[in-house]
Amino acid sequence: MRKYLTISVLVFTILINVRTASTLAIAEDIKKTGIEVALQETEKEETKSNSKITLKEILKKYYQAIGGPKAWQAVDSYKFAGSMYTKETTFKTAAVFMRPDLCRLDFQAGNLYFMESFDGKIPWQMNPGRGNRAEILKGKRAKEMIDTCDFEGPLINHKQKGHKIKYLGKEKIEDRWGYVLEVQFKTGNTDTYYLDTKTFLPFMVKGKTIIQDQIVNTTINISEYIEIGDIIIAFSYEFLVDGNPSPEILKIKTIQLNSEIDDTIFKLPKRPQDMR
């Protein structure tokens, strides 16, 4: 699943590490007792032990971590329902994904209803802020929607899809080590994925998007991986956008695999419907 950041940006357009004193004190105690040296040695050892891992090995372990080829190839569609929590309000959310690249995202808060979809050829949206009619997405927003609808995500079979991935090495984010992968999509968009060095599951994605005609930096924090059937899917996403001081949280509540789906729901100009 790629770029749920798109969801956050849509909501945002509709609505227009601080350390404590006690933490600092503990850090000082560590320095005094020499424990800090031991921690540094542990970090060096971890870096050394995994320094020779290749991109091919990382991607293979990632695929295994989310269930593996056999499990994913048995899934032709999935849909989820949940909520997007913002500072101003809560949106009911729903999404449907179908192989190879069809998807639709729905948001509702009271009478406010937003939808975005890709039917395999045309990315489009219905935005109450732009009138009650469907319109074709263009430019970077169109490319983001196309990337979002990649059924298994860009880290799987990336060469066949026309994506390019570069392994940038390891990086420590707070207390967590991650394999850093730069993903250049076929559309031209670029994101940076951080995969946990122990679980090989993504815990952060950094990229850029357009808000009000301005390119801004974005960060997605990913957590709460849960096994559904034989595959592993994240259930919690925190979205951070430069210039927006309040994070937005997407919590997935239910997921259904291989449901019967009428592919006309993806096509323009389908009228919005509640897919919960």
Instruction: Spell out the per-residue pLDDT of the chain, length 276, in tens.
Output: 444 444 444 444 333 332 233 322 323 332 333 334 344 444 444 444 455 899 999 999 999 999 999 999 999 999 999 999 988 889 999 999 999 999 999 999 888 889 999 999 999 998 888 777 889 999 888 999 999 999 999 999 999 999 999 999 999 999 999 999 999 999 999 999 999 999 999 999 999 887 777 788 999 999 999 999 999 999 999 999 987 878 999 999 999 999 999 999 999 864 444 433
The CATH number covering residue 133 comes to 2.50.20.10
Our count of domains for the chain comes to: 1
Helix and strand tally (H, E) in the chain?
7, 13
The answer to pTM > 0.75 is yes
pLDDT digits (tens, 9 = 90+) for 203-217: 999 998 877 777 889
Domain assignment of residue 276, yes or no: no
Domain assignment of residue 141, yes or no: yes
Domain assignment of residue 164, yes or no: yes
Residue 77 in contact with residue 96, Cβ under 8 Å? yes
Domain assignment of residue 122, yes or no: yes
Domain assignment of residue 272, yes or no: no
Distance CA 206, CA 191 (A): 6
Domain assignment of residue 227, yes or no: yes
Q: What is the pLDDT of residue 37?
A: 38
Domain hosting 184: range is 5-266
DSSP structural state of residue 128: G
Strand partners, 169: 180
Domain assignment of residue 273, yes or no: no
Domain assignment of residue 271, yes or no: no
Q: What is the pLDDT of residue 51?
A: 57
For residue 151, the tally of other CB atoms under 10 A from its CB is 19
